[in-house]
Chains A and B, each alone.
Chain A
């Protein structure tokens, strides 16, 4: 999943969109997904999400995200069907109401998760934090916290895989097919990883401070993030999505 959040370079209309407009668009899709009760509209939103991926030129990422979510959703769907007892039974313990709600929940989950992940893949992290600080006046330290956390994901994934590789080289059975056994092998590694990550974070804070972190304010960023015509277009799409969600 870490690779899914990585920025995919490009110059598509979505790449050129103001970072704030991208986040607003992503949030609008989330809100629309929760406002609507219509299956058709939720499917339209799903199609819209896929379109975002296609227009942004990240087809592969979009579909691997979608399939990843579908896997989680199958699990969620079964749980919902098992636990919702309202409605009339259609097959054994499965009720029509259970099926309806489970489908709604699953569709909403996919619709609401995809846009933010896709927008993160289409936005340079620094542009996002700079725009949040410049346009939305978010204090820099919060923007920095978020971007640093996201930046550290690949660093820690690398560290974890190097620990696993070195242990595999010493005969630990990490390539086992049994997921429970694998989990039991991986869990003890979390403690050393946590310890190194705390050390890493301290170093990061130190390095940022000696490069003037505390001097930074809203006017520091040298890049500007003006809103343009395409951002107006995005605003129109946002309004349409939300209004339709309420009406349909």
Chain B
């Protein structure tokens, strides 16, 4: 069916320059995200990662002032012609600034806010609320004041608040920024579960390459506002040397694979996690 092949997010020749800025934050981006994708976005600071997320959810051009060229469509709707509210029915976003995105003073009300606004029926609100809290593992924080939570707990609340909305696309801008490694993993495991079992398309900006390598299906690398790579995660990581040159880390096991490949060990499949590296080395030794 043709509709199935139409990407849920389609970015064509998109460029954006913030008002007053001399250089474009995004330059001629072509990117397609299909339903069911799990796309990671990585790049050095100032690469335009947040700007790319803003252009996907309609914040650009509706909110940020500047010059916008090209086209972006979300769920078949041109973001230029569709209101931000209508776009947010399709894609839910977790922003980078966790404090600023909290609208309520208590965790429960924070989750309720979106559910009530989008007119979720009153009988459905409670199960969705409880499920979102349980999924992120913060059921015990339900009645806590948000101001009393730690950075990591707030981040989980922000994720729960958008999860409850059951969006088709979930956009997350560094959702593990304030989290310890165990909680970061927990968030990514949750994202994988949502992606694989609930069919939610996930786009996540993240600096922790280890998590991206392990969990995402595809990886986009941005540098200087341009899309340098966008392919299956493993294929992108094969370019370890180029990635390091533009300021993007690769998992240490991938660097090891690269070194072994250069030494002529005939590695055809680069390892992205420890288990794979173990298998690879066992293969060489045997």
Contact = CB atoms under 8 A, between A and B. Distances in A.
B116 A210 contact: no
B114 interface: yes
Interface in A173-212: 200-201, 203-204, 206-212
Interface stretch (B98-106, B247-255, B262-270, B277-285): B98-106
A89 interface: no
Contacts of B105: 7, 124-126, 147, 150-151
A212 B95 contact: no
Contacts of B106: 7, 124-126
Contact of B84 (A148, A200, A209): A209
Nearest to A206: B63
Contact of A212 (B63, B93, B114): B114
A220 B97 contact: no
Interface string A1-32: 00000110100000000000000000000000
B264 to A, nearest CB: 52
Interface string B7-19: 0000000000000
A208 B103 contact: yes
B143 interface: yes
Interface in B140-176: 143, 145, 147, 161-162, 165
Interface stretch (B23-31, B118-126, B216-224, B236-244): B118-126
Nearest to B118: A212
B103 A203 contact: no
Contact of A203 (B101, B118, B145, B161): B101
Count chain B CB atoms within 10 A of each CB in A125, A155, A203, A214 and give the residue with the most. A203
Interface residues of A, number: 31
Contact of A211 (B119, B122, B145, B165): B165
Given A7-B105, A216-B117, A211 B112 contact: no
A166 B278 CA distance: 45
Nearest to B104: A126
Contacts of B97: 200, 203
B85 interface: yes
A218 to B, nearest CB: 11
A151 B102 CA distance: 9
What 6 pairs across the A-B complex have the smallest Cβ distances?
Answer: A212-B117, A207-B101, A203-B100, A126-B109, A211-B114, A210-B88
22 contacts: A125-B104, A126-B112, A147-B105, A200-B99, A203-B100, A206-B59, A206-B95, A207-B93, A207-B95, A208-B103, A209-B84, A209-B85, A209-B88, A210-B84, A211-B161, A211-B162, A213-B85, A215-B85, A215-B118, A216-B116, A216-B117, A222-B112
